[in-house]
Structure 1
Amino acid sequence: MKDYIQIGIEKGLISFNEDNSRIKYCYQGKERNYNNPEEKVQALAFLQLVIDYNYPERQIKQFEPVTMGSEVKEADIVVFEDEVCVKPLILVECKKQDVSEAEFQQAINQAYSYAFALPNEVKYVWITSGIKNDYFEVDKSQNTRNQLPDIPQYGIREVANYKYVYGAEYLPDIPGKPKFFGLAVIEQVDLTRRFKLAHEALWAGGQLNPSEAFDELDKLIFCKIWDERKPRKVGEPYDFQIITVSKSEVPDETKRRIKENENLHNRIKALYEEGRKKDAEVFRDDIRLAPEKMRTVVSYLESVNLSETDLDSKGRAFETFMGSFFRGNFGQYFTPREIVKFIVDVLPITNESKVLDTSCGSGGFLLYALNKVREQATEYYPNYKNDTRQYGKWYTYWHDFAEKNLFGIEINEQISRAAKMNMIIHDDGHTNVITSDGLVSDADIKARTGNNGFEYETFDFIITNPPFGSTIRQTEQAYLKTYMLGKKEEDWLAVRSRTGDDTRDGQQSEVLFIEQDYHFLKENGILAIVLPDGILTNSSMQFVRTQIEDWFRIVAVVSMPQTAFTANGAGVKSSVLFLQKWSKEHTEKLVAKKKSIEDNLLSKTNYLATRNLWDREIKQKQKEKVASMRNRQLTSATEIKKTDEFKSWNAEMQAEYASKIDELKYKLVEEYQQRKQSDLPDYSIFMAIAEEIGYDATGKKTKNNELEVIGEELKKFIINLISK
Structure 2
Amino acid sequence: MSLIAQGVEKGLIKFDDEQKQITYVHQKKKRNYTNPEEKVQAETFLQLILTYGYDTKRIRLFVSVTMGSSVKEADIIVYNDDPCLSPHIVVECKKQDVSEAEFAQAVEQAFSYAVAEGASFVWVTSGIKNQYYQVPKEKPKDRITITDIPQCGVAKLARYKYAKGGGSSNGQKLFELEVVTEDELTRRFKQGHQSLWGGGELNPSSAFDELDKLIFCKLWDERKARRKGEPYDFQVFQIFNESFEGKTPQELEQQANEELSERIKALYDEGRKKDPEVFKDDIRLSPEKLRTVVGYLEGINLGDTDLDSKGRAFETFMGSFFRGDFGQYFTPRAIVKFIVDVLPINHESLVLDSSCGSGGFLLHALDKVRKQADEYYPNHETTPKEYNQHKEHWHEFAANNLFGIEINEQIARVAKMNMIIHDDGHTNVIASDGLRGSEDLIKRSGNAGFAYSRFNFIITNPPFGSVIKQTEQAYMNQYGFALKPEDWLNPKSRSTPRETQNTEILFIEQCHQFLVEGGYLAIVVPDGVLTNSSLQYVRDGIEDKYRIVAVVSLPQTAFQATGAGVKSSVLFLRKHSQSTTEKIQNRKFDLQEQIKQSNDYLKRLEKLENDKKRHIRDLRGFENPQSLSGKALTELEAYKEWKKAIAAEYNEQIDALKEALTEQYAEEKQRSLDDYPIFMAIAENIGYDATGKPTNLNELDFIGEELARFIEAIDRGEA
Range class of TM-score, shorter chain: over 0.9
Equivalent residue for 1:537?
531
Decide whether the 8 Å contact of 1:107 with 1:127 is kept in 2: yes
Residue deviations 1:20-63 (CA, integer Å, cap 9, x gap): 22222122222211121111111111111111112122211111
Q: 1:24 to 1:589 in 2, by over 3 A?
A: same
Does 2:668 align with 1:672?
no
Residue deviations 1:694-715 (CA, integer Å, cap 9, x gap): 1111111111111111111111
How far off its partner does 1:473 sit? 0.6
Query: More displaced, 582-591 or 96-105?
Result: 96-105
Equivalent residue for 2:159?
161
The whole-number CA distance in structure 2 between the counterparts of 1:10 and 1:332 is: 49
How far off its partner does 1:637 sit? 4.0
Decide whether the 8 Å contact of 1:470 with 1:508 is kept in 2: yes
Decide whether the 8 Å contact of 1:626 with 1:640 is kept in 2: no
The size of the alignment, in residue pairs, is 714
Does 2:425 align with 1:429?
yes
Pick one of 202, 213, 228 that aligns with 2:207: 213
Equivalent residue for 1:456?
452
The whole-number CA distance in structure 1 between the counterparts of 2:466 and 2:485 is: 20
Equivalent residue for 1:95?
94
Residue deviations 1:314-351 (CA, integer Å, cap 9, x gap): 11111122223223344534101111111111111111
Amino acid at match of 2:133: F
Amino acid at match of 2:471: T
1:657-668 alignment to 2 at 5 Å?
Answer: 657-668=650-661
Q: 1:45 to 1:652 in 2, by over 3 A?
A: same
Does 2:475 align with 1:479?
yes
1:42-121 alignment to 2 at 5 Å?
Answer: 42-118=41-117, 121=118
Does 2:686 align with 1:693?
yes
Amino acid at match of 1:579: L
1:452-601 alignment to 2 at 5 Å?
Answer: 452-498=448-494, 502-601=496-595
Does 2:294 align with 1:293?
no
Q: 1:419 to 1:639 in 2, by over 3 A?
A: farther
Decide whether the 8 Å contact of 2:485 with 2:494 is kept in 1: no
Query: More displaced, 109-118 or 237-246?
Result: 109-118
The whole-number CA distance in structure 1 between the counterparts of 2:412 and 2:374 is: 29
SS of 1:77's partner is strand
The whole-number CA distance in structure 2 between the counterparts of 1:541 and 1:628 is: 41
Pick one of 676, 682, 707 that aligns with 2:675: 682
Identical residues among aligned pairs (%): 58
The whole-number CA distance in structure 2 between the counterparts of 1:47 and 1:624 is: 107
Residue deviations 1:222-249 (CA, integer Å, cap 9, x gap): 0000000111111111000011110111
Equivalent residue for 1:129?
126
Q: 1:39 to 1:700 in 2, by over 3 A?
A: same
Pick one of 147, 150, 155 that aligns with 2:148: 150
How far off its partner does 1:466 sit? 0.5
The whole-number CA distance in structure 2 between the counterparts of 1:471 and 1:519 is: 20
Does 2:357 align with 1:364?
no
SS of 2:430's partner is strand
How far off its partner does 1:429 sit? 0.8
The whole-number CA distance in structure 2 between the counterparts of 1:12 and 1:609 is: 101
Equivalent residue for 2:38?
39
Residue deviations 1:131-185 (CA, integer Å, cap 9, x gap): 10000011264121111111111222322111111112xx4x79x8111111111
The whole-number CA distance in structure 2 between the counterparts of 1:127 and 1:634 is: 106
Query: More displaced, 520-529 or 209-218?
Result: 209-218
Residue deviations 1:589-619 (CA, integer Å, cap 9, x gap): 0000011111111111122222222222222
Q: 1:74 to 1:637 in 2, by over 3 A?
A: farther
Q: 1:637 to 1:331 in 2, by over 3 A?
A: farther
Equivalent residue for 1:377?
373
SS of 1:90's partner is strand
How far off its partner does 1:420 sit? 0.4
Decide whether the 8 Å contact of 1:97 with 1:130 is kept in 2: yes
Pick one of 337, 341, 346 that aligns with 1:341: 337
Decide whether the 8 Å contact of 2:233 with 2:263 is kept in 1: yes
Amino acid at match of 2:221: D
SS of 2:157's partner is coil
Does 2:710 align with 1:702?
no
The whole-number CA distance in structure 1 between the counterparts of 2:632 and 2:322 is: 63
Decide whether the 8 Å contact of 1:93 with 1:111 is kept in 2: yes
Decide whether the 8 Å contact of 1:116 with 1:140 is kept in 2: no
Pick one of 204, 217, 222 that aligns with 2:216: 222
The whole-number CA distance in structure 2 between the counterparts of 1:311 and 1:519 is: 34
Amino acid at match of 2:238: T
Query: More displaced, 194-203 or 435-444?
Result: 194-203
The whole-number CA distance in structure 1 between the counterparts of 2:320 and 2:452 is: 34
The whole-number CA distance in structure 2 between the counterparts of 1:627 and 1:315 is: 79
- Residue ranges of structure 1 left out of the alignment (5+ in a row): none
Decide whether the 8 Å contact of 1:377 with 1:397 is kept in 2: yes
Pick one of 166, 178, 183 that aligns with 2:172: 178
The whole-number CA distance in structure 1 between the counterparts of 2:61 and 2:559 is: 49
Q: 1:642 to 1:20 in 2, by over 3 A?
A: farther
The whole-number CA distance in structure 1 between the counterparts of 2:404 and 2:52 is: 48
Q: 1:532 to 1:323 in 2, by over 3 A?
A: same
Does 2:251 align with 1:259?
no
How far off its partner does 1:301 sit? 0.4
The whole-number CA distance in structure 2 between the counterparts of 1:633 and 1:39 is: 104
SS of 1:232's partner is coil
- Residue ranges of structure 2 left out of the alignment (5+ in a row): none
Query: More displaced, 417-426 or 2-11?
Result: 2-11
Does 2:711 align with 1:712?
no
Residue deviations 1:109-129 (CA, integer Å, cap 9, x gap): 1111222233xx111111111
How far off its partner does 1:556 sit? 0.8
Does 2:388 align with 1:392?
yes
Residue deviations 1:77-126 (CA, integer Å, cap 9, x gap): 111111111111111111111111122111111111222233xx111111
Does 2:421 align with 1:443?
no
Residue deviations 1:339-393 (CA, integer Å, cap 9, x gap): 1111111111111111111010000011011111111112111212222211221
The whole-number CA distance in structure 2 between the counterparts of 1:42 and 1:278 is: 43
Residue deviations 1:225-282 (CA, integer Å, cap 9, x gap): 0000111111111000011110111232122112111111111111111111111111
Decide whether the 8 Å contact of 1:626 with 1:637 is kept in 2: no
The whole-number CA distance in structure 2 between the counterparts of 1:197 and 1:315 is: 17
1:615-654 alignment to 2 at 5 Å?
Answer: 615-625=609-619, 628-629=622-623, 631-633=624-626, 635-654=628-647
Amino acid at match of 1:144: D
Decide whether the 8 Å contact of 1:227 with 1:271 is kept in 2: yes
The whole-number CA distance in structure 2 between the counterparts of 1:33 and 1:639 is: 99
TM-score between both structures, scaled by the size of structure 1: 0.96
Pick one of 399, 403, 423 that aligns with 2:399: 403
How far off its partner does 1:628 sit? 4.6
How far off its partner does 1:632 sit? 2.3
SS of 2:73's partner is strand
The whole-number CA distance in structure 2 between the counterparts of 1:106 and 1:179 is: 29
The whole-number CA distance in structure 2 between the counterparts of 1:387 and 1:662 is: 75
Equivalent residue for 2:603?
609
SS of 1:389's partner is helix
SS of 2:426's partner is coil
The whole-number CA distance in structure 1 between the counterparts of 2:635 and 2:81 is: 111
Does 2:712 align with 1:723?
no
Amino acid at match of 2:579: E
Amino acid at match of 1:561: P
